[in-house]
């Protein structure tokens, strides 16, 4: 089945894939997803710390911060493998996004503390940056910082030890960490489609010590841009793995399921649908590889286009492959018992994160040629 094809001269990528396969045998993805749903969306700390132990959570963090010091190629392969194995942990946000912010933050005690904690799994630092109805605003008060406002769609908020908050201040945007149990922090959760919980976090005159500032204006915008870029790539890879696996399961099911005296996978109507699904998965893998290559070889504007394309392609492919996969499983596919529905729900969640395909495509065209909706 389609997968990322990247040069692997020293065998690192194979090792990463193998380690995910081993991990999935210990912590089967579908089982973990069902259990999390049963707990109301709270992350299993055992799984997260095992992932940290494997070196995955701090994969992008520099070695001097306690991370693995690996790059986006390795991250893409890891994320793809996690997607295939349906290890539906908040890797995109609590690992890739957080590690990119921390890796680029101003050197200092707070950055060191968090980076080491994140890499080891002892801390969970969750990015909280999507503005809600009231954007998060930072004011200086007596040498500390007071935060007010709210931020939405925060993953794993109950498991978080710290939030990495993006707040507006007089100079622009600042990045700072906030202890999850600080006074003035309220977490309200909603149930995510895949059984994870998504939180809105409200800050009400929440006092944050000034030494928790991770970066100031100018630098923060750039950091955020980079974190979005890396996370979109990781999500695209995860969606590619997920799509490829959902297709594989559907090929197995239709090859096995007999009606009219034959496997339904022998019927041309079914075969052509499966082929179209395979082509979409193949294109998703190619788009992600293109983005990985572009991030290594090209200027940042070109690379950002490649990543927009990859996230759009992989998201669309995963959503559409999983929809058809459910259909091709027949009535079984509509049952909660059958795993294929979990793939669909996971695909919906990741596809909607950091831009749906339509939005990403419009952004691509606008950036590439200056065309905008409604004007040229």
Residues that bind another protein (CB under 8 A): 5, 251, 254-255, 262-263, 265-266, 268, 270-272, 274-276, 278-279, 282-283, 285-287, 289-290, 305, 309, 312-313, 358, 361-362, 364-365, 368, 371-376
d(CA 64, CA 54): 18
**182 DSSP 8-state letter:** -
Q: Which is nearer to another protein, 222 or 358 (CB)?
A: 358
Q: Which is nearer to another protein, 69 or 263 (CB)?
A: 263
Beta strand ranges found along the chain (DSSP E): 125-128, 130-131, 137-141, 144-155, 162-169, 172-179, 185-191, 197-209, 213-215, 258-259, 262-263
CB of 343 to another protein, least distance (A): 18
Q: Which is nearer to another protein, 231 or 250 (CB)?
A: 250
d(CA 142, CA 111): 23
Cα angle at 77 between 352 and 4, to 5 degrees? Answer: 90
CB distance 283 to 291 below 8 Å: no
Q: Which is nearer to another protein, 105 or 322 (CB)?
A: 322
Could you tell me the maximum CA-CA distance found in the chain, to the nearest angstrom?
Answer: 79
List, in order, residues 6 or more apart from 176 with CB less than 8 Å away. Answer: 138, 145, 164, 165, 167, 208, 212, 213, 214
CB of 310 to another protein, least distance (A): 8
CB of 103 to another protein, least distance (A): 27
CB of 276 to another protein, least distance (A): 8
Q: Which is nearer to another protein, 221 or 248 (CB)?
A: 248
CB of 96 to another protein, least distance (A): 22
Q: Which is nearer to another protein, 121 or 265 (CB)?
A: 265
CB of 24 to another protein, least distance (A): 23
Exposed / middle / buried, residue 287 (Cβ in 10 Å: 0-12, 13-18, 19+): buried
CB distance 158 to 197 below 8 Å: yes
């Amino acid at each position: 089945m389609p997968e990322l094809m990247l040069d692997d001269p020293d065998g690192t990528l194979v090792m990463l894939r193998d380690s995910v396969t081993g991990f999935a045998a210990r912590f089967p993805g579908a089982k973990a997803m069902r259990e999390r749903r049963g707990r109301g969306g709270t992350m299993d700390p055992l799984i997260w710390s095992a992932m940290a132990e494997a070196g995955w959570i701090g994969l992008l963090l520099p070695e001097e911060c306690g991370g693995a010091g690996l790059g986006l190629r390795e991250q893409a392969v890891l994320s793809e493998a996690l997607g295939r194995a349906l290890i539906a942990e908040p890797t995109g946000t609590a690992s890739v996004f957080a590690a990119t912010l921390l890796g680029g933050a101003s050197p200092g005690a707070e950055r060191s503390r968090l980076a080491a904690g994140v890499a080891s799994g002892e801390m969970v630092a969750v990015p909280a940056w999507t503005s809600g109805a009231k954007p998060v605003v930072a004011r200086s008060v007596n040498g500390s910082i007071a935060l007010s406002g709210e931020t939405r769609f925060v993953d794993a908020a109950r498991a978080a030890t710290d939030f990495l908050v993006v707040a507006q201040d007089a100079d622009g945007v600042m990045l700072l960490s906030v202890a999850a149990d600080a006074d003035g922090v309220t977490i309200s959760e909603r149930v995510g489609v895949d059984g994870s919980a998504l939180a809105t976090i409200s800050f009400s005159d929440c006092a944050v010590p000034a030494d928790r500032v991770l970066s100031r204006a100018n630098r923060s915008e750039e950091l955020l841009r980079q974190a979005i870029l890396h996370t979109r790539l990781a999500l695209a890879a995860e969606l590619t793995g997920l799509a490829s696996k959902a297709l594989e399961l559907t090929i197995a099911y239709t090859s096995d399921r007999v009606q009219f005296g034959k496997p339904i996978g022998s019927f041309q109507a079914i075969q052509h649908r499966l082929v179209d699904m395979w082509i979409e998965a193949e294109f998703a893998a190619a788009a992600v590889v293109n983005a990985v290559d572009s991030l290594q070889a090209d200027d940042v504007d070109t690379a950002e286009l490649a990543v927009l394309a990859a996230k759009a392609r992989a998201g669309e492919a995963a959503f559409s492959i999983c929809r058809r996969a459910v259909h091709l499983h027949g009535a079984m596919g509509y049952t909660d018992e059958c795993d294929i529905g979990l793939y669909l729900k996971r695909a919906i969640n990741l596809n909607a994160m950091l831009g749906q395909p339509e939005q990403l495509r419009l952004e691509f065209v606008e950036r590439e040629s200056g065309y905008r909706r409604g004007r040229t």
